[in-house]
Structure 1
Amino acid sequence: MATTSPPASTGLGIDHIISDPGIILPFIMNNALHVVGAIAILIIGFWLAGRADYLVGRALKRSKHVDEMLRGFFSSIARYFVLTIVVLAVLSQFGIQTTSLVAVIGAASLAIGLALQGTLSNLAAGVMLLIFRPFRIGHSVTVGGNTGTVRSLSLFWTEVVTDSNTQIIIPNGSVWGQSIRNMTTYPQPISTAQLHVPVPSGWGLNDACLRIQQMTADTPKVLASPAPTARLDRGGTDNALQIVITFAPDGDTAASVKNDILRAIDEQMEKPARQQRFA
Protein backbone atom coordinates (compact mmCIF):
# COMPACT_ATOMS: atom_id res chain seq x y z
CA MET A 1 0.00 0.00 0.00
CA ALA A 2 1.51 3.27 -1.17
CA THR A 3 1.84 6.09 1.26
CA THR A 4 1.79 9.80 0.35
CA SER A 5 4.33 12.02 1.94
CA PRO A 6 3.16 15.42 3.25
CA PRO A 7 3.85 18.34 0.93
CA ALA A 8 7.00 20.22 1.54
CA SER A 9 6.52 23.46 3.41
CA THR A 10 7.41 26.53 1.41
CA GLY A 11 7.11 28.99 4.30
CA LEU A 12 9.65 30.11 6.85
CA GLY A 13 8.70 27.93 9.80
CA ILE A 14 10.23 27.70 13.26
CA ASP A 15 11.75 24.27 12.47
CA HIS A 16 13.56 25.69 9.45
CA ILE A 17 14.91 28.64 11.48
CA ILE A 18 16.14 26.31 14.26
CA SER A 19 17.72 23.83 11.87
CA ASP A 20 19.22 26.53 9.61
CA PRO A 21 19.60 29.92 11.35
CA GLY A 22 21.28 31.41 8.30
CA ILE A 23 18.00 31.35 6.34
CA ILE A 24 16.60 34.26 8.37
CA LEU A 25 19.33 36.65 7.25
CA PRO A 26 17.97 37.15 3.66
CA PHE A 27 14.48 37.63 5.11
CA ILE A 28 15.72 40.36 7.47
CA MET A 29 17.79 42.00 4.74
CA ASN A 30 14.89 41.98 2.30
CA ASN A 31 12.46 43.58 4.76
CA ALA A 32 15.13 45.96 6.02
CA LEU A 33 15.51 47.29 2.49
CA HIS A 34 11.74 47.88 2.37
CA VAL A 35 11.84 49.71 5.71
CA VAL A 36 14.79 51.85 4.62
CA GLY A 37 13.02 52.62 1.33
CA ALA A 38 9.83 53.55 3.17
CA ILE A 39 11.75 55.84 5.54
CA ALA A 40 13.49 57.49 2.58
CA ILE A 41 10.14 58.00 0.84
CA LEU A 42 8.69 59.54 4.00
CA ILE A 43 11.61 61.93 4.43
CA ILE A 44 11.57 63.04 0.81
CA GLY A 45 7.76 63.16 0.80
CA PHE A 46 7.54 65.41 3.86
CA TRP A 47 10.15 67.71 2.33
CA LEU A 48 8.23 67.87 -0.97
CA ALA A 49 4.98 68.53 0.92
CA GLY A 50 6.59 71.45 2.75
CA ARG A 51 8.00 72.82 -0.50
CA ALA A 52 4.61 72.52 -2.20
CA ASP A 53 2.98 74.38 0.69
CA TYR A 54 5.59 77.15 0.49
CA LEU A 55 5.60 77.51 -3.30
CA VAL A 56 1.82 77.63 -3.62
CA GLY A 57 1.59 80.19 -0.81
CA ARG A 58 4.31 82.34 -2.35
CA ALA A 59 2.73 82.18 -5.81
CA LEU A 60 -0.69 83.20 -4.49
CA LYS A 61 0.83 85.93 -2.31
CA ARG A 62 1.86 87.82 -5.45
CA SER A 63 -1.78 88.26 -6.39
CA LYS A 64 -3.58 91.11 -4.62
CA HIS A 65 -6.97 89.50 -5.31
CA VAL A 66 -6.31 86.34 -3.25
CA ASP A 67 -7.15 86.55 0.44
CA GLU A 68 -4.63 85.40 3.06
CA MET A 69 -7.06 82.76 4.32
CA LEU A 70 -7.53 81.48 0.79
CA ARG A 71 -3.76 81.27 0.33
CA GLY A 72 -3.52 79.11 3.42
CA PHE A 73 -6.40 76.93 2.20
CA PHE A 74 -4.84 76.18 -1.19
CA SER A 75 -1.40 75.73 0.37
CA SER A 76 -2.83 73.11 2.74
CA ILE A 77 -4.54 71.34 -0.16
CA ALA A 78 -1.22 71.12 -2.03
CA ARG A 79 0.55 69.83 1.09
CA TYR A 80 -1.98 67.12 1.89
CA PHE A 81 -2.16 66.07 -1.76
CA VAL A 82 1.58 65.36 -1.74
CA LEU A 83 1.32 63.58 1.62
CA THR A 84 -1.46 61.34 0.26
CA ILE A 85 0.78 60.27 -2.63
CA VAL A 86 3.61 59.65 -0.14
CA VAL A 87 1.44 57.37 2.02
CA LEU A 88 0.35 55.37 -1.02
CA ALA A 89 3.99 55.04 -2.11
CA VAL A 90 4.99 53.77 1.35
CA LEU A 91 2.21 51.19 1.35
CA SER A 92 3.18 49.95 -2.11
CA GLN A 93 6.77 49.67 -0.85
CA PHE A 94 5.61 46.86 1.47
CA GLY A 95 3.67 45.12 -1.30
CA ILE A 96 0.24 46.38 -0.27
CA GLN A 97 -2.10 46.82 -3.23
CA THR A 98 -3.10 50.50 -3.23
CA THR A 99 -5.69 50.21 -6.02
CA SER A 100 -8.34 48.76 -3.76
CA LEU A 101 -7.30 51.17 -1.00
CA VAL A 102 -7.83 54.15 -3.33
CA ALA A 103 -11.25 52.78 -4.26
CA VAL A 104 -12.18 52.45 -0.57
CA ILE A 105 -10.97 55.99 0.13
CA GLY A 106 -12.98 57.28 -2.84
CA ALA A 107 -16.12 55.53 -1.66
CA ALA A 108 -15.61 56.82 1.88
CA SER A 109 -15.04 60.35 0.56
CA LEU A 110 -18.27 60.13 -1.44
CA ALA A 111 -20.23 58.98 1.62
CA ILE A 112 -18.71 61.73 3.76
CA GLY A 113 -19.44 64.29 1.04
CA LEU A 114 -23.09 63.27 0.89
CA ALA A 115 -23.37 63.37 4.68
CA LEU A 116 -21.76 66.81 4.85
CA GLN A 117 -23.44 68.21 1.77
CA GLY A 118 -24.61 71.40 3.52
CA THR A 119 -21.21 72.00 5.14
CA LEU A 120 -19.38 71.47 1.85
CA SER A 121 -21.74 73.89 0.10
CA ASN A 122 -20.83 76.50 2.71
CA LEU A 123 -17.15 75.72 2.12
CA ALA A 124 -17.55 76.11 -1.66
CA ALA A 125 -19.43 79.38 -1.14
CA GLY A 126 -16.69 80.60 1.21
CA VAL A 127 -14.03 79.87 -1.42
CA MET A 128 -16.05 81.80 -4.02
CA LEU A 129 -16.49 84.75 -1.63
CA LEU A 130 -12.76 84.84 -0.91
CA ILE A 131 -11.90 84.67 -4.62
CA PHE A 132 -14.33 87.25 -6.00
CA ARG A 133 -14.46 89.44 -2.85
CA PRO A 134 -17.90 91.11 -3.20
CA PHE A 135 -17.18 92.68 0.19
CA ARG A 136 -14.28 93.06 2.61
CA ILE A 137 -13.75 93.31 6.34
CA GLY A 138 -15.22 96.58 7.61
CA HIS A 139 -17.70 97.06 4.75
CA SER A 140 -21.30 97.96 5.52
CA VAL A 141 -23.42 95.33 3.77
CA THR A 142 -26.79 93.63 3.65
CA VAL A 143 -26.33 89.85 3.31
CA GLY A 144 -28.74 87.04 4.04
CA GLY A 145 -31.39 89.56 4.99
CA ASN A 146 -29.13 91.09 7.69
CA THR A 147 -27.56 94.57 7.61
CA GLY A 148 -24.39 95.41 9.46
CA THR A 149 -20.61 95.70 9.29
CA VAL A 150 -18.53 92.69 8.22
CA ARG A 151 -16.34 91.67 11.16
CA SER A 152 -14.82 88.46 9.76
CA LEU A 153 -15.06 86.09 6.80
CA SER A 154 -14.09 82.42 7.11
CA LEU A 155 -14.44 79.45 4.80
CA PHE A 156 -17.74 78.41 6.40
CA TRP A 157 -19.48 81.53 7.71
CA THR A 158 -19.56 85.33 7.64
CA GLU A 159 -19.73 87.38 10.83
CA VAL A 160 -21.76 90.61 10.68
CA VAL A 161 -22.19 93.10 13.54
CA THR A 162 -25.33 95.25 13.45
CA ASP A 163 -25.61 98.89 14.52
CA SER A 164 -26.95 97.70 17.88
CA ASN A 165 -23.69 95.72 18.38
CA THR A 166 -25.39 92.36 17.82
CA GLN A 167 -23.31 89.53 16.37
CA ILE A 168 -24.86 87.60 13.48
CA ILE A 169 -23.22 84.45 12.06
CA ILE A 170 -24.42 83.74 8.51
CA PRO A 171 -23.51 80.49 6.68
CA ASN A 172 -21.66 81.28 3.48
CA GLY A 173 -24.18 79.28 1.46
CA SER A 174 -26.86 81.81 2.44
CA VAL A 175 -24.53 84.72 1.65
CA TRP A 176 -23.46 83.51 -1.81
CA GLY A 177 -26.92 82.29 -2.81
CA GLN A 178 -28.63 85.66 -2.24
CA SER A 179 -28.22 89.23 -3.42
CA ILE A 180 -25.52 91.23 -1.66
CA ARG A 181 -25.86 94.96 -1.02
CA ASN A 182 -22.56 96.71 -0.33
CA MET A 183 -22.92 100.30 0.87
CA THR A 184 -19.16 100.89 1.11
CA THR A 185 -17.77 99.90 -2.30
CA TYR A 186 -18.75 103.16 -3.97
CA PRO A 187 -18.30 106.31 -1.85
CA GLN A 188 -21.44 108.28 -1.14
CA PRO A 189 -21.57 111.70 -2.84
CA ILE A 190 -21.07 114.65 -0.51
CA SER A 191 -24.40 116.29 0.18
CA THR A 192 -24.66 120.02 -0.41
CA ALA A 193 -27.13 122.63 0.77
CA GLN A 194 -28.30 125.94 -0.67
CA LEU A 195 -29.20 129.23 0.91
CA HIS A 196 -30.93 132.09 -0.96
CA VAL A 197 -30.27 135.59 0.34
CA PRO A 198 -31.14 138.99 -1.16
CA VAL A 199 -28.30 141.19 -2.34
CA PRO A 200 -27.33 143.33 0.67
CA SER A 201 -28.17 147.00 0.25
CA GLY A 202 -25.18 149.11 -0.69
CA TRP A 203 -23.03 146.15 -1.75
CA GLY A 204 -21.86 145.80 -5.32
CA LEU A 205 -22.86 142.57 -7.04
CA ASN A 206 -19.35 141.20 -7.51
CA ASP A 207 -18.27 142.44 -4.08
CA ALA A 208 -21.37 140.88 -2.48
CA CYS A 209 -20.69 137.47 -4.08
CA LEU A 210 -17.03 137.48 -3.06
CA ARG A 211 -17.69 138.62 0.51
CA ILE A 212 -20.54 136.17 1.08
CA GLN A 213 -18.53 133.32 -0.40
CA GLN A 214 -15.63 134.13 1.95
CA MET A 215 -17.95 134.38 4.94
CA THR A 216 -19.42 130.99 4.05
CA ALA A 217 -15.96 129.44 3.78
CA ASP A 218 -15.03 130.89 7.20
CA THR A 219 -18.17 129.53 8.84
CA PRO A 220 -17.53 126.55 11.15
CA LYS A 221 -18.74 123.12 9.96
CA VAL A 222 -18.50 124.07 6.29
CA LEU A 223 -16.33 121.62 4.34
CA ALA A 224 -13.47 123.04 2.30
CA SER A 225 -14.08 120.51 -0.49
CA PRO A 226 -16.18 121.11 -2.45
CA ALA A 227 -15.55 124.80 -1.94
CA PRO A 228 -18.61 126.96 -1.23
CA THR A 229 -19.92 129.17 -4.03
CA ALA A 230 -22.05 132.33 -4.16
CA ARG A 231 -23.73 133.13 -7.50
CA LEU A 232 -26.35 135.55 -8.67
CA ASP A 233 -29.81 134.35 -9.60
CA ARG A 234 -33.40 135.53 -9.74
CA GLY A 235 -36.14 133.96 -7.70
CA GLY A 236 -38.94 134.48 -5.26
CA THR A 237 -42.42 135.75 -5.98
CA ASP A 238 -41.13 139.01 -7.48
CA ASN A 239 -38.30 137.41 -9.43
CA ALA A 240 -35.88 139.67 -7.59
CA LEU A 241 -32.12 139.44 -7.86
CA GLN A 242 -30.62 137.27 -5.11
CA ILE A 243 -27.46 135.40 -4.20
CA VAL A 244 -27.54 131.58 -4.12
CA ILE A 245 -25.03 130.17 -1.65
CA THR A 246 -24.03 126.52 -2.15
CA PHE A 247 -21.98 124.76 0.54
CA ALA A 248 -21.23 121.28 1.90
CA PRO A 249 -22.07 120.95 5.61
CA ASP A 250 -20.14 118.64 7.89
CA GLY A 251 -22.67 115.92 8.64
CA ASP A 252 -26.25 116.80 9.49
CA THR A 253 -25.51 120.45 10.32
CA ALA A 254 -27.07 122.29 7.36
CA ALA A 255 -29.67 124.12 9.48
CA SER A 256 -27.14 125.45 12.00
CA VAL A 257 -24.70 126.41 9.22
CA LYS A 258 -27.41 128.43 7.45
CA ASN A 259 -28.15 130.21 10.70
CA ASP A 260 -24.43 131.07 11.15
CA ILE A 261 -24.13 132.35 7.56
CA LEU A 262 -27.20 134.60 7.88
CA ARG A 263 -25.90 135.90 11.22
CA ALA A 264 -22.50 136.70 9.67
CA ILE A 265 -24.11 138.52 6.72
CA ASP A 266 -26.35 140.51 9.05
CA GLU A 267 -23.37 141.55 11.18
CA GLN A 268 -21.51 142.71 8.08
CA MET A 269 -24.56 144.73 6.97
CA GLU A 270 -24.86 146.40 10.39
CA LYS A 271 -21.23 147.54 10.52
CA PRO A 272 -21.71 150.65 8.31
CA ALA A 273 -24.79 151.59 10.33
CA ARG A 274 -22.84 151.38 13.58
CA GLN A 275 -19.99 153.39 12.16
CA GLN A 276 -22.36 156.16 11.05
CA ARG A 277 -24.11 156.09 14.43
CA PHE A 278 -20.91 156.55 16.43
CA ALA A 279 -19.23 158.92 13.93
Structure 2
Amino acid sequence: MPLQDTIESSQTFLRTLAAQAATFLPNLLVAVLVMVIGFFIAGRLAALVGRAFGLSRIDETVRGPLVAMVRYVVIVMALIIALGQIGVQMTSLLAVLGAAGLAVGLALQGTLTNIAAGIMLLWLRPFRVGDYIETQNFAGRVHEIGLFTCHLETFDGLFVFAPNSTLWNVWMRNHSRAASRLLAWQITVPRQVPFEAAHEALISAWPQSAGEEQLSEPVAFLDQLTADTQVIVFRGVVKEGATTEAQRRTAQAIRRIFVERFGADGEPRAIQRIVPGDSDPSRYLGADDAPEANRTLVNERPDAPSQSVVTAP
Protein backbone atom coordinates (compact mmCIF):
# COMPACT_ATOMS: atom_id res chain seq x y z
CA MET A 1 0.00 0.00 0.00
CA PRO A 2 1.29 3.47 -0.74
CA LEU A 3 0.70 4.65 2.84
CA GLN A 4 2.51 1.64 4.26
CA ASP A 5 5.43 2.23 1.89
CA THR A 6 5.60 5.86 2.95
CA ILE A 7 5.65 4.94 6.63
CA GLU A 8 8.39 2.37 6.06
CA SER A 9 10.44 4.87 4.05
CA SER A 10 10.06 7.44 6.79
CA GLN A 11 11.11 4.94 9.43
CA THR A 12 14.14 3.94 7.35
CA PHE A 13 15.08 7.58 6.90
CA LEU A 14 14.75 8.31 10.60
CA ARG A 15 16.84 5.26 11.52
CA THR A 16 19.52 6.32 9.05
CA LEU A 17 19.42 9.88 10.36
CA ALA A 18 19.67 8.66 13.93
CA ALA A 19 22.64 6.45 13.05
CA GLN A 20 24.41 9.30 11.29
CA ALA A 21 23.63 11.66 14.16
CA ALA A 22 25.00 9.13 16.63
CA THR A 23 28.22 9.13 14.61
CA PHE A 24 28.36 12.88 13.80
CA LEU A 25 27.29 14.46 17.10
CA PRO A 26 30.27 13.17 19.13
CA ASN A 27 32.61 14.47 16.44
CA LEU A 28 30.77 17.81 16.46
CA LEU A 29 31.06 18.01 20.23
CA VAL A 30 34.77 17.25 19.98
CA ALA A 31 35.15 19.96 17.31
CA VAL A 32 33.36 22.50 19.52
CA LEU A 33 35.52 21.47 22.46
CA VAL A 34 38.65 21.87 20.34
CA MET A 35 37.60 25.41 19.36
CA VAL A 36 36.84 26.35 22.97
CA ILE A 37 40.19 25.00 24.11
CA GLY A 38 41.87 26.70 21.14
CA PHE A 39 40.43 30.11 22.04
CA PHE A 40 41.41 29.58 25.68
CA ILE A 41 44.97 28.58 24.79
CA ALA A 42 45.24 31.45 22.28
CA GLY A 43 44.25 34.01 24.92
CA ARG A 44 46.56 32.58 27.57
CA LEU A 45 49.48 32.18 25.16
CA ALA A 46 49.01 35.73 23.83
CA ALA A 47 49.04 37.09 27.38
CA LEU A 48 52.13 35.02 28.21
CA VAL A 49 53.95 36.20 25.09
CA GLY A 50 52.95 39.79 25.85
CA ARG A 51 54.42 39.56 29.37
CA ALA A 52 57.55 37.92 28.00
CA PHE A 53 57.96 40.73 25.47
CA GLY A 54 57.48 43.23 28.29
CA LEU A 55 60.47 41.76 30.11
CA SER A 56 62.59 41.59 26.96
CA ARG A 57 64.25 44.28 24.86
CA ILE A 58 61.80 43.90 22.00
CA ASP A 59 60.53 47.28 20.87
CA GLU A 60 57.09 48.08 22.22
CA THR A 61 56.02 49.11 18.73
CA VAL A 62 56.09 45.53 17.38
CA ARG A 63 54.81 43.78 20.51
CA GLY A 64 51.13 44.25 19.72
CA PRO A 65 51.25 42.83 16.18
CA LEU A 66 53.43 39.89 17.27
CA VAL A 67 51.06 39.01 20.11
CA ALA A 68 48.10 39.25 17.73
CA MET A 69 49.84 36.98 15.22
CA VAL A 70 50.50 34.35 17.92
CA ARG A 71 46.82 34.42 18.90
CA TYR A 72 45.58 34.12 15.32
CA VAL A 73 47.97 31.24 14.53
CA VAL A 74 46.65 29.22 17.48
CA ILE A 75 43.03 29.93 16.51
CA VAL A 76 43.63 28.89 12.88
CA MET A 77 45.30 25.65 13.99
CA ALA A 78 42.37 24.89 16.30
CA LEU A 79 39.94 25.58 13.44
CA ILE A 80 41.79 23.18 11.13
CA ILE A 81 41.74 20.42 13.77
CA ALA A 82 38.04 21.04 14.45
CA LEU A 83 37.13 20.83 10.78
CA GLY A 84 39.08 17.59 10.50
CA GLN A 85 37.03 16.13 13.37
CA ILE A 86 33.75 16.64 11.50
CA GLY A 87 35.09 15.05 8.33
CA VAL A 88 36.00 18.05 6.22
CA GLN A 89 38.69 17.13 3.69
CA MET A 90 41.52 19.61 3.92
CA THR A 91 42.37 19.45 0.21
CA SER A 92 38.84 20.42 -0.72
CA LEU A 93 38.81 23.01 2.04
CA LEU A 94 42.00 24.61 0.78
CA ALA A 95 40.57 24.82 -2.74
CA VAL A 96 37.41 26.44 -1.41
CA LEU A 97 39.43 28.80 0.79
CA GLY A 98 41.56 29.78 -2.20
CA ALA A 99 38.53 30.72 -4.25
CA ALA A 100 36.90 32.41 -1.28
CA GLY A 101 40.12 34.23 -0.46
CA LEU A 102 40.22 35.71 -3.95
CA ALA A 103 36.63 36.89 -3.66
CA VAL A 104 37.16 38.26 -0.16
CA GLY A 105 40.39 39.93 -1.24
CA LEU A 106 38.58 41.77 -4.03
CA ALA A 107 35.76 42.74 -1.69
CA LEU A 108 38.07 43.87 1.13
CA GLN A 109 40.67 45.81 -0.79
CA GLY A 110 40.60 48.56 1.83
CA THR A 111 41.29 46.10 4.64
CA LEU A 112 44.17 44.53 2.73
CA THR A 113 45.50 48.02 2.09
CA ASN A 114 45.48 48.64 5.83
CA ILE A 115 47.38 45.40 6.41
CA ALA A 116 49.99 46.34 3.82
CA ALA A 117 50.26 49.83 5.32
CA GLY A 118 50.60 48.34 8.81
CA ILE A 119 53.44 46.10 7.65
CA MET A 120 55.22 49.08 6.09
CA LEU A 121 54.74 51.16 9.24
CA LEU A 122 56.24 48.37 11.34
CA TRP A 123 59.08 47.87 8.88
CA LEU A 124 60.10 51.50 8.26
CA ARG A 125 58.93 52.85 11.64
CA PRO A 126 58.23 56.50 10.86
CA PHE A 127 56.86 56.60 14.41
CA ARG A 128 56.82 54.36 17.46
CA VAL A 129 54.56 53.78 20.43
CA GLY A 130 54.78 56.85 22.64
CA ASP A 131 55.61 59.29 19.83
CA TYR A 132 53.53 62.42 19.31
CA ILE A 133 52.66 62.66 15.60
CA GLU A 134 50.69 65.10 13.46
CA THR A 135 48.92 64.44 10.16
CA GLN A 136 46.68 66.59 7.98
CA ASN A 137 43.63 65.26 9.86
CA PHE A 138 44.67 64.96 13.52
CA ALA A 139 47.55 64.93 15.99
CA GLY A 140 48.11 62.75 19.03
CA ARG A 141 50.28 60.35 20.96
CA VAL A 142 50.56 56.81 19.58
CA HIS A 143 49.33 54.15 22.02
CA GLU A 144 49.21 51.08 19.76
CA ILE A 145 50.22 50.07 16.24
CA GLY A 146 48.24 47.13 14.87
CA LEU A 147 47.99 45.29 11.58
CA PHE A 148 44.73 47.09 10.72
CA THR A 149 44.60 50.28 12.77
CA CYS A 150 46.59 52.55 15.05
CA HIS A 151 45.27 53.90 18.34
CA LEU A 152 46.16 57.48 19.25
CA GLU A 153 45.15 59.98 21.92
CA THR A 154 44.90 63.69 21.13
CA PHE A 155 46.22 66.40 23.44
CA ASP A 156 42.72 67.00 24.81
CA GLY A 157 42.13 63.32 25.62
CA LEU A 158 40.14 62.17 22.59
CA PHE A 159 40.62 58.61 21.32
CA VAL A 160 41.53 58.34 17.61
CA PHE A 161 40.97 55.03 15.79
CA ALA A 162 43.00 55.53 12.62
CA PRO A 163 43.22 52.95 9.80
CA ASN A 164 46.84 52.33 8.85
CA SER A 165 46.31 53.51 5.28
CA THR A 166 45.32 56.98 6.56
CA LEU A 167 48.72 57.26 8.21
CA TRP A 168 50.79 55.70 5.45
CA ASN A 169 49.38 57.61 2.48
CA VAL A 170 49.57 61.14 3.93
CA TRP A 171 52.29 63.48 5.15
CA MET A 172 53.22 63.19 8.80
CA ARG A 173 55.17 65.15 11.39
CA ASN A 174 56.82 63.30 14.24
CA HIS A 175 57.32 65.68 17.16
CA SER A 176 59.29 63.08 19.12
CA ARG A 177 61.82 62.01 16.49
CA ALA A 178 64.50 64.71 16.65
CA ALA A 179 66.66 65.40 19.68
CA SER A 180 66.30 69.19 19.39
CA ARG A 181 64.02 71.75 17.78
CA LEU A 182 64.30 75.33 16.58
CA LEU A 183 62.03 77.94 18.18
CA ALA A 184 61.72 81.51 16.92
CA TRP A 185 59.81 84.65 17.90
CA GLN A 186 59.15 87.89 16.03
CA ILE A 187 59.43 90.85 18.42
CA THR A 188 58.07 94.26 17.46
CA VAL A 189 59.67 96.99 19.59
CA PRO A 190 59.56 100.82 19.39
CA ARG A 191 62.02 102.51 17.05
CA GLN A 192 63.63 104.47 19.89
CA VAL A 193 64.97 101.25 21.48
CA PRO A 194 68.58 100.89 20.24
CA PHE A 195 68.95 97.69 18.25
CA GLU A 196 72.40 96.93 19.70
CA ALA A 197 71.06 97.20 23.23
CA ALA A 198 68.03 95.02 22.38
CA HIS A 199 70.29 92.46 20.73
CA GLU A 200 72.61 92.36 23.75
CA ALA A 201 69.65 92.06 26.13
CA LEU A 202 68.21 89.09 24.27
CA ILE A 203 71.50 87.21 23.85
CA SER A 204 72.82 87.80 27.38
CA ALA A 205 69.53 86.73 28.92
CA TRP A 206 70.30 83.11 28.04
CA PRO A 207 73.68 82.31 29.69
CA GLN A 208 75.59 79.17 28.74
CA SER A 209 74.38 76.91 31.56
CA ALA A 210 72.02 73.95 31.84
CA GLY A 211 68.61 74.26 33.41
CA GLU A 212 64.95 73.33 33.23
CA GLU A 213 64.29 75.40 30.12
CA GLN A 214 66.97 74.22 27.74
CA LEU A 215 67.24 77.03 25.17
CA SER A 216 70.63 77.07 23.44
CA GLU A 217 72.40 78.84 20.59
CA PRO A 218 70.40 82.10 20.87
CA VAL A 219 70.44 84.31 17.78
CA ALA A 220 68.85 87.77 17.32
CA PHE A 221 68.79 89.86 14.14
CA LEU A 222 66.90 92.79 12.65
CA ASP A 223 64.25 91.54 10.25
CA GLN A 224 62.14 94.61 9.41
CA LEU A 225 62.34 98.34 10.03
CA THR A 226 59.51 100.88 9.77
CA ALA A 227 59.13 104.53 10.70
CA ASP A 228 57.84 103.70 14.19
CA THR A 229 58.93 100.14 14.94
CA GLN A 230 61.63 97.59 14.35
CA VAL A 231 61.02 93.87 14.09
CA ILE A 232 63.64 91.61 15.67
CA VAL A 233 63.71 87.86 15.15
CA PHE A 234 64.96 85.90 18.14
CA ARG A 235 65.54 82.18 17.86
CA GLY A 236 67.18 79.30 19.71
CA VAL A 237 67.44 75.53 19.86
CA VAL A 238 65.46 73.59 22.46
CA LYS A 239 65.94 70.00 23.52
CA GLU A 240 62.88 67.92 22.60
CA GLY A 241 60.84 67.42 25.73
CA ALA A 242 61.26 71.04 26.86
CA THR A 243 59.66 72.52 23.73
CA THR A 244 56.26 73.15 25.28
CA GLU A 245 57.56 74.88 28.38
CA ALA A 246 59.95 77.02 26.32
CA GLN A 247 57.10 78.11 24.04
CA ARG A 248 55.03 79.18 27.03
CA ARG A 249 57.67 81.01 29.04
CA THR A 250 60.01 82.59 26.53
CA ALA A 251 57.53 85.25 25.38
CA GLN A 252 56.95 86.25 29.00
CA ALA A 253 60.70 86.38 29.61
CA ILE A 254 61.26 88.58 26.53
CA ARG A 255 58.60 91.05 27.69
CA ARG A 256 60.09 91.19 31.18
CA ILE A 257 63.61 91.73 29.80
CA PHE A 258 62.58 94.72 27.69
CA VAL A 259 60.55 96.31 30.48
CA GLU A 260 63.45 95.92 32.94
CA ARG A 261 66.08 97.23 30.49
CA PHE A 262 64.19 99.99 28.67
CA GLY A 263 61.23 100.84 30.89
CA ALA A 264 57.55 100.96 30.02
CA ASP A 265 58.26 102.86 26.77
CA GLY A 266 60.47 99.98 25.60
CA GLU A 267 57.87 97.29 26.14
CA PRO A 268 57.41 95.18 22.96
CA ARG A 269 54.30 96.05 21.01
CA ALA A 270 53.96 92.48 19.76
CA ILE A 271 55.63 89.11 20.37
CA GLN A 272 54.65 86.48 17.84
CA ARG A 273 55.88 82.89 17.72
CA ILE A 274 56.79 82.04 14.13
CA VAL A 275 58.57 78.67 14.57
CA PRO A 276 56.64 76.60 15.41
CA GLY A 277 53.48 78.40 14.34
CA ASP A 278 50.21 78.78 16.21
CA SER A 279 48.80 75.75 14.40
CA ASP A 280 51.42 73.45 15.95
CA PRO A 281 49.49 71.13 18.32
CA SER A 282 52.52 70.46 20.53
CA ARG A 283 52.07 73.86 22.19
CA TYR A 284 48.97 72.50 23.93
CA LEU A 285 50.87 69.74 25.71
CA GLY A 286 51.73 70.01 29.38
CA ALA A 287 55.30 69.99 30.63
CA ASP A 288 54.99 66.36 31.72
CA ASP A 289 53.32 65.35 28.46
CA ALA A 290 55.84 66.87 26.07
CA PRO A 291 57.39 64.40 23.62
CA GLU A 292 60.80 63.09 24.56
CA ALA A 293 63.45 61.92 22.10
CA ASN A 294 64.96 59.16 24.20
CA ARG A 295 66.06 56.87 21.41
CA THR A 296 68.79 56.75 18.79
CA LEU A 297 67.77 58.52 15.61
CA VAL A 298 67.59 56.46 12.45
CA ASN A 299 69.25 59.18 10.40
CA GLU A 300 71.67 60.42 13.04
CA ARG A 301 75.24 60.82 11.87
CA PRO A 302 77.98 59.29 14.05
CA ASP A 303 79.83 62.61 14.02
CA ALA A 304 76.78 64.76 14.79
CA PRO A 305 77.79 67.49 17.27
CA SER A 306 76.11 67.44 20.66
CA GLN A 307 73.81 70.31 21.57
CA SER A 308 74.86 72.57 24.41
CA VAL A 309 72.03 73.80 26.61
CA VAL A 310 71.37 77.06 28.37
CA THR A 311 68.87 78.32 30.89
CA ALA A 312 66.06 80.71 30.01
CA PRO A 313 65.25 83.35 32.60
TM-score (norm 2): 0.45
Q: Of the two structures, which has the highest relative contact order with CA contacts closer than 8 Å and spacing of 6 or more?
A: 2
Structure 1 or 2, whichever has the larger Rg, is: 1
What is the TM-score when the length of structure 1 is the normalising length? 0.50
